[in-house]
Amino acid sequence: MTEIGDVEPRLARSVKELGRKLAEFCAGRDLDRQTVHDATDLVDRHRTVARLRGIDFPEMVLVVLDVQKKLRFVRRDLDAAGIDNLVVELARMQRDDYDPAEIARAIRRAFPHHRTPDPRDRRH
């Protein structure tokens, strides 16, 4: 994944603006299907407006942590290694409330094509 500091400044500002909009939108709402649908629409509309302003804003997908009631938007085009890194970041975010099943559900919903790493695939 790309860190905000490594990106074009207008894109970095747009990403921060989207985060603020999403936080304001979700404040006080239940994290139900309608909220997730509306938040996805908000992310898509933000991307459209950014692109109309000449910002090369990537497609995003929402990662929904249903137990913790948290949303996170990430690039849709993450490769397998990027998704695996996201899983590690999500696990670190959870700290004492680590729930592997919650992370697995969130990743399956956001990236249905992704398969979990098989330890037998690793070469020693």
| Residue 124 predicted with pLDDT over 50 | no
By the 10 Å C-beta count (0-12 exposed, 13-18 middle, 19+ buried), 73 is classed as: buried
pLDDT at 87: 92
Residue 47 Cα distances to 26, 30, 43, angstroms: 18, 24, 6
The length of the chain is 124
Give residue 24's Cα distance to chain centre.
Answer: 17
Q: In this structure, are residues 31 and 71 in contact, taking their beta carbons and an 8 Å threshold?
A: yes
| Confidence grade of residue 123 (pLDDT, cut at 50, 70, 90) | low
The pLDDT value recorded for residue 2 is 42
Give the dihedral sign, CA 84/88/89/94.
positive
Q: Are 11 and 56 in contact (CB under 8 A)?
A: yes
Residues 31-80: tens digit of each pLDDT: 999 999 999 999 999 999 999 999 999 999 999 998 888 889 999 999 99
